[in-house]
Amino acid sequence: MSTSSDNRNNSQKGKSAVPAKKRVVKKTPAQPAQNELFDKKEYAAKKYTDDDAGSEMNTDQDNRGSLLEPSSRATKLLARKAAEEAMVFSNRTKILKPEKTADISPPESEKAVKPQSKKRPPIKKKVKLSVKKMKQRRERIKFGIISAALIIIAVIIIILVLRQGGSLKNEVADTPYGPVPFIEADTPFDNEVRIFIESGMRAGDICRLLDTAGVVTSASRLQSYLVANKLDTKIRSGAIFLPKDMSVSDAAAALTRGYWEHPILSIYPGYTLEQIDSYLAGIGLAEKGEFILAAEQIARDNDLPFSEGFYYPDEYILYQLDNAAEVLAVQMYDRLNMITGPMMEQLALQGRTLSDAVIVASMIQRETGNPDEMPLIAGIIWKRLEEGIPLGIDATTRYELNDWINPISKAALENPTPYNTRRKRGLPPTGISNPGFDALQAAAYPEKSSYYYYLHDRSAQIHFAVTYEEHLKNVQTYLR
């Protein structure tokens, strides 16, 4: 017992003899909490290692129940506790202040977007409003484009119309008498211009024509007046002399009823004496029947075998309104003599008279309106006359019946009258119309051929035949 106590005393003396090592902590500048954490970790680990080493050296004493055993265990527990506290502290530090090992912060653009992402409902409302505004903007743009396009089209149309109206002065119209200018300023009458109104011309074009010629000062006012009084569809075609600077009402009256200071009369090829007489009576220049009486009187005075066919269709100006029918008949007869004068020598060479040529020309005029077909038809007519073959021209029967529209009855075709060229050989007793220049020219200068027959189909195309069998075949092919 004393031995053990002595040993304990000796050990305590030995322990007390060795001075305890004090840990000298060097004062260094303040470092981040992370460095302090690492120092605590290293200190705890080192202390724990030193304690383990000391415990191994005193293994025998510990095994024998040395008095130092409680002290070493306490040290270990303290070391472990310090280590655990250090670990907890490090975890808290990581949470509160992350390590600055790398700059992984998002870009400034993303930082600016993040606050907006938290307010999604307001963003949706803004998007809906912007879409609505975009639709309205597109509609406004579309409306603007359409409006601009319509304005451009309207301007182009106005320019074209104005150009057309202005160019009518230099253009000409194709008429049965040849090309005729729309506006002719050089006339035999002072302060008057000659205006030609083509058939089918619109009221607006006619008003612009008069404006261009100086007859009226405003085409739009004239057109408005015509439309308001329902006169825009009653404008007469043909040539007319009109004075300049007319009022709108006077110009409208002249266009619809005629301007009778110096009237221009248009007589078309193929008109009969009865049709010319009706034309004069219709415009109020003569009474019904006056022109026929005047034409017959001229035929008697000039020893003509008949009157139908000797009055040349053309455009005539009446210089006086008294006895208009007689004045017109004289002008028409004089012009026929002027036109046929150069043809008389050719007719004499062929042994034909002017009367026969007028009758043939009147039939040609009624058979076709195509000048290219007239010489061939004239050659067929003269050939059949020379060979004694009936002409078979139905236009002569129509003239006798005074019906140019309805189909000819079978009884009329079989009635042997002087004008029925199906039953009678030779020419009819008179002309059946008043022929124009092309028909008279064809009668005087016919084209020879081997044809004896011809017909026109429903589309006005002509078909010739040499024999009667070929003619019947054409009838079956084109008219059945």
Tell me the per-residue pLDDT of 380-417, one tens digit each, with 9 for 90 and over: 999 999 999 999 999 999 999 999 899 999 999 999 99
Alpha-carbon span 167 to 162, nearest angstrom: 8
Q: What is the DSSP code string of 266-310?
A: E--TT--HHHHHHHHHHTTSS-TTHHHHHHHHHHHHTT-S-STT-
Is pLDDT of 358 > 70? Answer: yes
Whether residue 1 is contained in a domain is answered as no
Whether residue 311 is contained in a domain is answered as yes
Q: Are residues 287 and 321 in the same domain?
A: yes
Whether residue 85 is contained in a domain is answered as no
C-alpha distances out from residue 71 to 40, 54, 61, Å: 21, 11, 13
Is pLDDT of 228 > 50? Answer: yes
214 compared with 100, residue with greater pLDDT: 214
Q: Are residues 383 and 234 in the same domain?
A: no
Q: Environment class of residue 354 by beta-carbon count within 10 Å: exposed (0-12), middle (13-18) or buried (19+)?
A: buried
Q: Are residues 421 and 347 in the same domain?
A: yes
Among residues 262, 285, 300, which one ends one of the domains? 262
| Mean pLDDT, range 330-350, rounded to an integer | 94
C-alpha distances out from residue 234 to 173, 183, 230, 252, 257, Å: 20, 21, 8, 10, 9
330 compared with 263, residue with greater pLDDT: 330
Alpha-carbon span 232 to 225, nearest angstrom: 9
The domain tally of the chain equals 2
The one-letter amino acid at 472: L
Q: How many Cα atoms within 13 Å fall on the side-chain side of residue 272?
A: 17
**Whole-model pTM?**
0.59
Q: Are residues 297 and 365 in the same domain?
A: yes
* DSSP class of 342: G
Q: Which domain holds residue 368?
A: 273-449
Q: How far does Cα 27 stand from its chain's mean position?
A: 98
* DSSP class of 41: H
Whether residue 14 is contained in a domain is answered as no
Give the SS3 label for residue 64: coil
Q: What is the DSSP code string of 112-158?
A: HHHHHHH-HHHHHHHHHHHHHHHHHHHHHHHHHHHHHHHHHHHHHHH
Q: Are residues 256 and 293 in the same domain?
A: no
pLDDT in tens, 95-114: 555 545 445 555 554 444 44
Whether residue 123 is contained in a domain is answered as no
pLDDT in tens, 372-387: 999 999 999 999 999 9
Which band of pLDDT confidence, cut at 50, 70 and 90, is reported for residue 61? very low
Q: Are residues 364 and 289 in the same domain?
A: yes
Buried b (16+ CB within 10 A) or exposed e, 245-261: ebebeebbebbeebbee
Q: Are residues 291 and 408 in the same domain?
A: yes
Which band of pLDDT confidence, cut at 50, 70 and 90, is reported for residue 18? very low
Share of the chain above pLDDT 70, in %: 71
3 compared with 281, residue with greater pLDDT: 281
Whether residue 432 is contained in a domain is answered as yes
Q: What is the pLDDT of residue 425?
A: 93
Q: What is the pLDDT of residue 39?
A: 53
Whether residue 258 is contained in a domain is answered as yes
Is pLDDT of 163 > 70? Answer: no
The CB density around residue 218, as the number of other CB atoms within 10 Å, is: 13
Among residues 262, 297, 331, which one ends one of the domains? 262
Among residues 218, 243, 262, which one ends one of the domains? 262
CATH for 208: 3.30.1490.480
- Average pLDDT in the chain: 79
Q: Are residues 238 and 327 in the same domain?
A: no
Whether residue 378 is contained in a domain is answered as yes
Q: Are residues 278 and 424 in the same domain?
A: yes
| Mean pLDDT, range 84-98, rounded to an integer | 63
Q: Are residues 314 and 351 in the same domain?
A: yes
